[in-house]
C-alpha cells in the first residue's frame, strides 16, 4: 500500500449570521488588537464597514489595511507588514476573496520574520526556514465562494519583478478559526460570483484528476463538483439565494481541502496568463478547463466516467466534457482566451512559465512545453 501524508482543515463556523461570532472568535484565538486585511474594492463596501462596526461596538480595537490588488503583489504584502508592525497589531483578520485572504495570511506569516518573503516559497522544505514564533494568529472571513484560501496553509503572491505567481507556504498560515457566513457573499457582482465559483470547480476537478493515492481528497472533490454544478447556476440566476450560496461556500472550502493532493495544467496555465494579463484567476481557470480535460483525456477517462455517473450523467468522458461546456455557456464564461482579451504575443513565455509552475507537477500527464502550448492554442482558438 502506498504511503501518503494527509492534512485537513481548521475549525469552521458555517452558516448565515455567523459573522456575529467574530469578536468571540478573536478571543478564542488570543487576538486583542486585530488588523483586518482586505482588497481595495471591498474596503468601503457595507460588508466590510458593517464588520468593522460590529467589532468596534464589541470593544475591539481593530485596524484596516486594504492596499491589495486583485492579483496581489509583493509590494502589497510589504505595505501591510509595515502597517501591522507600526500599529502593534497582534493578529490578522483575513477578509474577502482570494486576494485579500492570501495577502492577509502572508502578512501574518511575515510579521516576525527577518528573511525575505521569497525565501519561504513552497519549494522543498523552505518553510522550515521560518521562525514559528514570529507568525501571528489568523481568523479568516471569506466573502466569496471560490479559492477556499480560508482553509489553506499558503498564499499566492505575484513577484512583480518577474511577473510570476509564487506560493508562500507554512503550516501555521492555516487560520485558527473560519467564519463562513454565506450572507456575506450576497452582494458579489455576477462576474465575481461566476469566476470564483468556477475557481472552486477547477480546484475540485484538478484535485480529483491529480495522480496519487488520497481517497479522502477524492471523495471531497467529487461532492464539491456536484455542489458547484447544482448551485452555481442558482446563485447566478438569483443572487439572494442564501442556501445556494452556502453550498458554494462549502464547495470552495472543499476544493482547497482536496487540492492538497495536487492541481494541474488548468492552474499551471492560468497563473502565467493572470500574471501577464492581470485576468481574473477563477475566470481564467474556467476558460482553460475543457481544453485541459481534452488533452488529459487518455489519463483520466475512467476516473471522469465515474464522476459523470455520480453527477447523474451518462457514465463517460464526453458526457462530463459537454456538461462543463454547457455550464460555461449557461454562466456566460468566455469560450476562448481571445474573448478574454488575451492574445498570442506572449505565447512562448507562457509556455515556459507554465511548465515550471508549482501546480504543473500535479497534471495527470507530463506538462511539457509542447503540451502546454497545445492547450494554450486550443484555448486561444476555441478548439476543444
Span 298-330, pLDDT tens digits: 999 999 999 999 999 999 999 999 999 999 999
For residue 127, the Cα-to-chain-centroid distance in whole angstroms is 20
What pLDDT, on the 0 to 100 scale, is given for residue 8?
75
What pLDDT, on the 0 to 100 scale, is given for residue 1?
60
**Domain residues of the chain, as ranges?**
11-185, 190-381
Q: Quick one: angle between helices 265-277 and 190-209, nearest 10?
A: 140
Rounded Cα gap, residues 107 and 91, in angstroms:
10
What pLDDT, on the 0 to 100 scale, is given for residue 4?
60
Mean pLDDT confidence for 82-99: 96
Q: In this structure, what DSSP letter does residue 137 have?
A: P
Residue 5 predicted with pLDDT over 80: no
β 164-169/154-159 pair status:
antiparallel
What pLDDT, on the 0 to 100 scale, is given for residue 364?
98
Q: Name residue, grid cell 450560496.
A: 245
Bridge partners for 35 per DSSP: 63, 92
Pick from 294, 276, 285: nearest CA to 349 = 276
Residue 7 predicted with pLDDT over 70: no
Pick from 96, 36, 41, 33: nearest CA to 64 = 36
| Top-level class of domain 190-381 | mainly alpha
SS3 category, 332: coil
SS3 category, 71: coil
pLDDT-derived band at 187, boundaries 50, 70, 90: confident
Which residues, in sequence order, are CB contacts of 250 under 8 Å at separation 6+? 14, 180, 224, 227
Rounded Cα gap, residues 151 and 169, in angstroms:
13
Which residues, in sequence order, are CB contacts of 39 under 8 Å at separation 6+? 66, 68, 69, 70, 72, 96, 97, 99, 100, 103
Other C-beta atoms closer than 10 Å to the C-beta of 190 total: 13
Rounded to the nearest integer, the mean pLDDT of the chain is: 95
Could you name the CATH architecture of 11-185?
A: 3-Layer(aba) Sandwich (3.40)
pLDDT-derived band at 9, boundaries 50, 70, 90: confident
Residue 50 predicted with pLDDT over 70: yes
Rounded Cα gap, residues 23 and 238, in angstroms:
31
Percent of the chain past pLDDT 90, that is, above it, reads 90
Mean pLDDT confidence for 3-27: 87
Amino acid at each position: 500500500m502506498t504511503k501518503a501524508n494527509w492534512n485537513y482543515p481548521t475549525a469552521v463556523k458555517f452558516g448565515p449570521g455567523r459573522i456575529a461570532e467574530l469578536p468571540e472568535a478573536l478571543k478564542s484565538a488570543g487576538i486583542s488588537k486585530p488588523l483586518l486585511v482586505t482588497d481595495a474594492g471591498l474596503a468601503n463596501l457595507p460588508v466590510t464597514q458593517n464588520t468593522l462596526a460590529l467589532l468596534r461596538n464589541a470593544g475591539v480595537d481593530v485596524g484596516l489595511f486594504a492596499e491589495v490588488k486583485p492579483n496581489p503583489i509583493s509590494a502589497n504584502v510589504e505595505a501591510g507588514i509595515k502597517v501591522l508592525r507600526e500599529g502593534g497589531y497582534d493578529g490578522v483578520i483575513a477578509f474577502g476573496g482570494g486576494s485579500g485572504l492570501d495577502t492577509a495570511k502572508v502578512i501574518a506569516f511575515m510579521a516576525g520574520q527577518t528573511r525575505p518573503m521569497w525565501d519561504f516559497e513552497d519549494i522543498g522544505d523552505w518553510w522550515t526556514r521560518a521562525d514559528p514564533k514570529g507568525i501571528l494568529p489568523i481568523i479568516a472571513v471569506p466573502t466569496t465562494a471560490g479559492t477556499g484560501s480560508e482553509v489553506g496553509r499558503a498564499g499566492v503572491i505575484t513577484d512583480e519583478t518577474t511577473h510570476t505567481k509564487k506560493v508562500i507556504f507554512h503550516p501555521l498560515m492555516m487560520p485558527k478559526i473560519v467564519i463562513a457566513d454565506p450572507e456575506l457573499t450576497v452582494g458579489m457582482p455576477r462576474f465575481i460570483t461566476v469566476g470564483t465559483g468556477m475557481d472552486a470547480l477547477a480546484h475540485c476537478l484538478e484535485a480529483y484528476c491529480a495522480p496519487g493515492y488520497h481517497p479522502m481528497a477524492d471523495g471531497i472533490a467529487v461532492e464539491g463538483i456536484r455542489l458547484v454544478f447544482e448551485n452555481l447556476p442558482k446563485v447566478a440566476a438569483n443572487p439572494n439565494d442564501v442556501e445556494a450560496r452556502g453550498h458554494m461556500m462549502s464547495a470552495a472550502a472543499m476544493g482547497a481541502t482536496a487540492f492538497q493532493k495536487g492541481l494541474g495544467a488548468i492552474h499551471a496555465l492560468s497563473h502565467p496568463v493572470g500574471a501577464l494579463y492581470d485576468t481574473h484567476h477563477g475566470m481564467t481557470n474556467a476558460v482553460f478547463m475543457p481544453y485541459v480535460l481534452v488533452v488529459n483525456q487518455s489519463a483520466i477517462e475512467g476516473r471522469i466516467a465515474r464522476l459523470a455517473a455520480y453527477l447523474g450523467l451518462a457514465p463517460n468522458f464526453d458526457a462530463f466534457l459537454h456538461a462543463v461546456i454547457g455550464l460555461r455557456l449557461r454562466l456566460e464564461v468566455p469560450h476562448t482566451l481571445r474573448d478574454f482579451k488575451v492574445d498570442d504575443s506572449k505565447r512562448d513565455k507562457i509556455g515556459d512559465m507554465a511548465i515550471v509552475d508549482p501546480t504543473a507537477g500535479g497534471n495527470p500527464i507530463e506538462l511539457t512545453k509542447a503540451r502546454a502550448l497545445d492547450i494554450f492554442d486550443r484555448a486561444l482558438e476555441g478548439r476543444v
